[in-house]
Every structure is written in C-alpha cells, then in structure tokens.
Amino acid sequence: MSKEINNIAVFTSGGDAPGMNAAIRAVVRTSIFYNKKIFGIYRGYEGMIEGDIEELDARSVGNIIQRGGTILKSARSDEFRTKEGRQKAYENLKEKGIDALVAIGGDGTFTGLHNFYLEHKMPVICIPGTIDNDLPGTDFTIGYDTATNTVVDAVDKIRDTALSHNRLFFIEVMGRDSGYIAINSGIAGGAAAIIIPEDEMTIDELVAKLDKGVESKKSSSLVVVAEGGKLGNALQIAEEVHKRFPYYDTKVTILGHLQRGGSPTYFDRVLASKMGVYAVEGIMAGKTDVMVGIQNGITVYNDFESTMVKNHEIEPEALRISKILSI
Ligand code: F6P
C-alpha cells in the first residue's frame, strides 16, 4: 500500500500558458478540501533547487482564475537536468516535509520530473499545461484553446487590412514542432493555405494553390505558417513565394509571445479546474509518474514515458477539411 500523503507542493515550469493559474487554484483548493497541506514552489525547478517554497491557503489563490501567466512564475532550469541539482531539490522538499509533487507544464517538465521520481521515489503527477497541445494522452492541454482563439482574433484583424490592399499575408504562429495551433486557427480563420510540420507542402505546391486563388478572383490571401516547419519560417517562405509570385504584395506577421498571454477562455478554465482536482485525487489514490489527461470526456492517467515519446497527432479530419475549404 502507498504511504499516506499529507504535504503536497505545486509548481509551474516551462513556457507559461493561459489557465495555469486556474490549475494552481484547483490544486491548492482540492488539497485543502482533503485536509492536506499545500505548498507553492516559485520559478519551477529553479525555485525547488533554491528552496523558494511557501505554504499556500485557499485565499492565496483568490482572484486568479481569470488571469493569464502563472502566479508561481516559471523557468527553464539547466541545473535540474543534473543529478546533483535534483538531489538539492529533494533535500529542500524533505526539509519542508513535502511528500508529493504536482507539476503543471509540458514535456520538458515531465522529463525532469520523471528522472526525479526514478531517483527519489517521491510521488509525482503532471498536469499538461502548454499552448502547443503537443502531448499525447489528453485531447487538450491547458492554454491551447486560449492561444488558438488569440490567433483567430489576430487572423480576422489581418484579413481586414489584407482585403483592403489585396495583399498576401503570411502569419506565423507558435507550436514548437507541432502544427495544432496552426491547423485549427487556419481553419477557423479561413486561411488560403496552412503550413504545418505534419503535412509539409512544397513552395511549388503553395504557389500553385495561391495562383488558383488569384484565377478564381480571391482578393486577399492569408497563409498560416506553423513555426516548426521544414520549409522555414514565415519570412523565408514569404521571400521564396515573392520570387515566383512578384505581382503579389507580400507581408509577414509573426504573432510570437502574445499567443501565450491573456485571460484564459472558459474552456481552459474548466479544463484546468478539472485537471487540478483529478491530479490531487490521483496522487492521493497512489498514482505516480503519470500525467493526468482527459480523453473523450474521460479522465485518464498516462505514464510519463508514453507521453514523452511522440507528439500528439493532428486529426486527419482537420487536415482533410482544411484542404476542401481553402479552394
Ligand atoms: O512551448 C510553448 C512555446 O510557446 C512554443 O510554442 C514556443 O516554440 C516556445 O514555447 C517559445 O519559448 P520561449 O518563451 O522560451 O521563447
């Protein structure tokens, strides 16, 4: 039987994502609901190594459900990649009497935590928080919905100016090496073409597609480009296209970090709230070295290893639909 857990610590790590605060709030309040002590670790693994840890209460997480970013701050730590760094972190946690960890982050966070678990056997659980939606084992990660809505809003605005000047816009979106944000914001924003790492088209194919649009009297064209593609970034693609398509007035917008900010959508707040509750209940029930996920409405706990080996695959239907509708 697993040892009873009394003192839990929560932290955020890697790139922040809208909805992380809602997840922190849920973890804190669920822990208190079940009469556990709950600590916040600031600046992810950096704070764990430096002992930047503080006990939280239900009021510490008041008025944060609607806020983007993370009140616990986030960082990427090189020291935690080392055995010595993880040992230091373990000693700080033990000193505070912490006996379980809840991490909110992406695959980099999981890798660190998995190694920590193998070395120290402290129960650990992860909540998927990243705008990229690149983790298998959950239909959605916290922050993806908000980021995609932010992109769609930007695409709509760019369309207004593109139409007014008959311009061809290349809009680069985040996602690291995943095309999730690009494919769905491209469909929702009515893009003429969507370039994603999972289904790369050549420059010739892209030009042929855009040419068809001109022939069928399209007065503006928006191309959504995922940042991680092999064809290059939006600037490079735009330059290549311009060489072959000089009669088009070409512009590039890189949306960048604005995709990471802003108030989380209702969807991300509810997702984060559910996952926060399930993470604490999972760890109390003896689940460890797992990521909480929600698939087809069902709560699942997947081994870290299975979530780290591959990317969350783009639905083939999304690809098919985008091709039909962008003629
Ligand atoms: O993983 C989230 C993400 O925003 C990616 O989409 C992007 O490639 C990366 O983080 C940017 O990282 P940083 O904020 O360190 O520049």
Q: Read out DSSP for 57-110?
A: -GGGGTT-TT--S-TT-----SGGGSHHHHHHHHHHHHHTT--EEEEEE-HHHH
If you search the block for the tokens 């809602």, which residue do you land on? 22
Q: What pLDDT score does 235 carry?
A: 97
Q: Which residue's CA lies nearest to atom 8 of ligand 1?
A: 176
User: Distance between CA atoms of 148 and 260, rounded to whole angstroms?
Assistant: 10
292 sits in the region (left: phi over 0; alpha: psi -120 to 50; else beta) called beta
Which residues are tagged catalytic?
A: 132
If you search the block for the tokens 């008025």, which residue do you land on? 63
User: Distance between CA atoms of 321 and 262, rounded to whole angstroms?
Assistant: 29
For the whole model, what pTM was predicted? 0.96
Q: Indicate the top mutation candidate among 20, 46, 132 to test ligand 1's pocket, ranked by most ligand atoms within 8 A of CB.
A: 132
Q: Which residue's CA lies nearest to atom 11 of ligand 1?
A: 15
User: Distance between CA atoms of 12 and 60, rounded to whole angstroms?
Assistant: 16
Q: Strands 100-105 and 290-295, how do they pair?
A: unpaired
User: Distance between CA atoms of 10 and 267, rounded to whole angstroms?
Assistant: 22
14 CA: nearest ligand 1 atom: 1
Q: Edge-to-edge strand order for the sheet containing 249-254?
A: 193-195, 221-226, 167-173, 249-254
Q: What pLDDT score does 305 carry?
A: 83
Q: At what angle do helices 83-95 and 107-120 cross, to 10 degrees?
A: 70
Cα 176 to middle of ligand 1, angstroms: 6
17 CA: nearest ligand 1 atom: 2
Q: What pLDDT score does 220 carry?
A: 74
Which residue type, as a one-letter code, is found at position 267?
F
In the structure, which protein residues have their CB atom closer than 6 angstroms to any atom of ligand 1?
Answer: 15, 106, 130-132, 174-176, 227, 260
Q: What pLDDT score does 2 carry?
A: 67
Query: Each residue's pLDDT tens digit in the chain (327 positions)?
Result: 568 999 999 999 999 999 999 999 999 999 999 999 999 999 999 999 999 999 999 999 999 999 999 999 999 899 999 999 999 999 999 999 999 999 999 999 999 999 999 999 999 999 999 999 999 999 999 999 999 999 999 999 999 999 999 899 999 999 999 999 999 999 999 999 999 999 989 999 999 998 888 888 877 789 999 999 999 999 999 999 999 888 888 999 999 999 999 999 999 999 999 999 999 999 999 999 999 999 999 999 999 888 877 789 999 999 999 999 988
Q: What pLDDT score does 214 carry?
A: 80
Cα 126 to middle of ligand 1, angstroms: 19
Cα 250 to middle of ligand 1, angstroms: 26
Q: Which residues of 17-40 are buried (b: 16+ CB within 10 A; e: fewer)?
A: bbbbbbbbbbbbbbbbeeebbbbb
Q: Indicate the top mutation candidate among 131, 151, 178 to test ligand 1's pocket, ranked by most ligand atoms within 8 A of CB.
A: 131
Cα 225 to middle of ligand 1, angstroms: 15
Closest by alpha carbon to 135, among 312, 257, 319? 312
- DSSP secondary structure code for residue 129 in this structure: B
Cα 167 to middle of ligand 1, angstroms: 29
Q: Which residue's CA lies nearest to atom 3 of ligand 1?
A: 15
User: Distance between CA atoms of 248 and 118, rounded to whole angstroms?
Assistant: 56
Residue 265, C-beta contacts closer than 8 angstroms, at least 6 positions apart: 18, 145, 146, 149
Q: At what angle do helices 266-284 and 20-33 cross, to 10 degrees?
A: 40
